[in-house]
Amino acid sequence: MKRYTQLVIAGILLAIVAGCSAEPADEKAGAGGEAKPGAPAEVTYFMGARLIPGDGSAPIEAATFIVSNGKITAIGAKGELKVPEGAGRVDLEGQTIMPVVVNLHGHAGINNGSTTGAMNYSRESVLADLNRYIYYGVGAVALLGTDAGDVIYGIRNEQREGKGGSARVLTAGQGITVRGGWPVPVLGNIPIQVSSEADARKAVSDLAAKKVDFVKIWVDDDMGRVPKMSSAISKAIIDEAKKNNLRVVAHVFYLADAKELVAAGVGGLVHSIRDREVDDALISDMKQKNVFYTPTLVAHEAKFVYGDHPDWLGEQTMREAYPAQLSAYYANSITMNRFKRNPDADKFRQQYDVAKRNLKKMADGGVKIGLGTDSGTAGDFPGYFEHREMELMVSAGMSPSDVIKAATVVSAEIAGVADLGGLAVGKAGDFFVLSTNPLDDIKNTKDIVSMYRNGAEMQRLPLIQNLTMEVPSITDQDRAADRAAAVKEAQAAAEAKLEHFGKFVLGSSANVRAMPIPTPKGSTSRIVAGPPDRITVGLRASAADLRQFYTAALPKYRWQAQGQCWERTHPVSNKTQVLCADTSAANSIILQISER
């Protein structure tokens, strides 16, 4: 039976039992019966589940624990705890429970499935993503830099007053970048753009007045395509943030930038370093200064993985909160081909491999690792991708236990939500129940049977059943572009089998004085009779590549190198012909032929 159907049936049966049964609970359930969803008994006694504390310690098999007024008051092994008089009882025998996840790098409200940007941002779109987060067991999320206006502060204030049932939110408000820097090409005017240290300090002061939880900065040039924040500006931001008792978290790419930021006092690096492997000096400095690291592997993977038709795409767990049509769009051959043909695809794969190696080195070196996903951006799905991130962290070399610790206890500590993230006395009774054991296989974190908040079972289905998402469509223009690209690829494949001279294959010859002169395929040639005769060969290529072509091709036409020129004997006059090449003009080469 499909999971979605199971959830619906379970909800109906629960309603029937709650509304119609007046019989006392059986002996196993106890006199208090099941705790009602959303309205728990003041004291609830849970029993039978394998309990993963989240702090890296061994699980407690067949655990018993008590939640009183929303807080865990006791935990023990089977038979260790006495059932409080009048307590509700919940039997979880054969199942596993783990703490809710805390995501230190997410976004909400900016992606509607087909587009990403400020045009999608609203109270409704933010709450929709927060519902998706909690549905998948993400109890709290730090939204880093894409919250424009005051919407998010209103939602946060309502939550702190005890209103609302979605994922708990922390926010950096609007992140800070330099004028025209990343991610302005994607997010437009959502980021605060600064051009001086004074601008930067004012931006921090304005954010502090809104009581942000973090200050987010972007230190990245999108592989050289946009301006990058200078160290002077990032230092000014960090300094001003410290004056306001705020931590700065940084989007980074380059190792050199990461080192400068850590030296300056940044609180956390919220993307993987991807240009090269980290060294012991950075690891030591991060440990000494307690700088945390969220690898966001799933965000880096999402830049290329849809070209591979990943096996998780469209699985039942994903389709519970995301329409099947969305998976179908990403599985469509035209979409897959677009990812494969991205000229940066190979770079993205290499960067991802570097990111995985760096996570392993950071974790082994003792750096504080938290969970971050960058979910809520294009192709990166809130809630579901937090589980994918845990899978990738394990594939990078961390153990399932260490990954769960990073995603729960460590991330909760970093976020400052001390009551979440672990299952221990004094913590909130916030956890999810799994049908399988994630310590055996981290993928099992997705096998969610039920969720509890403050010891009360949450009704998960209402969180997502009315959510909508705009599914991208494959247009006629997309199909035409795909066909054209396929033709071009076929031509390139055919040409790859031909003899190459440098980077090019032979095209038609230009004839001068009854002598054929080779030209690259796809080039143009213009002959001006002399003496000396001149042939201008045009091709969008570098001077070095064009000269390499003629160095390789001219000997095939009986021209022999003489210094920087070539010579041959004319087939009729028997006079020596001299060919010299001028590569000073862009995208062309001028061949001048004289006779002596």
Work out the angle between the directed axes of helices 333-341 and 476-496 (0-180°, nearest 10).
50
Report the chain's terminal Cα–Cα distance, integer Å: 89
CATH of domain 101-304+342-420: 3.20.20.140
pLDDT of 24 strictly over 50: no
Bond preceding residue 59 cis, omega within 30 of 0:
no
Beta strands in 151-302 (DSSP E): 168-171, 176-178, 192-194, 215-219, 248-252, 268-269, 292-293
Look up residue 19 and give its two tokens: 């509304």
Work out the angle between the directed axes of helices 255-264 and 280-289 (0-180°, nearest 10).
30
Specify the pLDDT at position 41: 54
Specify the pLDDT at position 299: 98
Q: Helix, strand, coil shares of the chain as percentages rounded to 5?
A: 35, 25, 40
Specify the pLDDT at position 25: 33
Specify the pLDDT at position 175: 98
3-class DSSP state for residue 549?
helix
pLDDT of 99 strictly over 70: yes
Specify the pLDDT at position 8: 39
Residue 352 to residue 250: CA distance in whole angstroms: 18
pLDDT tens, residue by residue, 352-403:
999 999 999 999 999 999 999 999 999 999 999 999 999 999 999 999 999 9
Mean pLDDT of the chain: 91
pLDDT tens, residue by residue, 29-82:
332 333 333 444 589 999 999 999 999 999 999 999 999 999 999 999 998 999
Please name the residues in contact with 480: beta carbons below 8 A apart, sequence gap of 6 or more.
none
Specify the pLDDT at position 30: 32
Amino acid identity at 395: S
Phi/psi at 461 (5° precision): -55, -45
Q: Which residues of the chain form CATH 3.20.20.140? A: 101-304+342-420
pLDDT of 406 strictly over 90: yes
pLDDT of 412 strictly over 80: yes
Look up residue 194 and give its two tokens: 């600064």
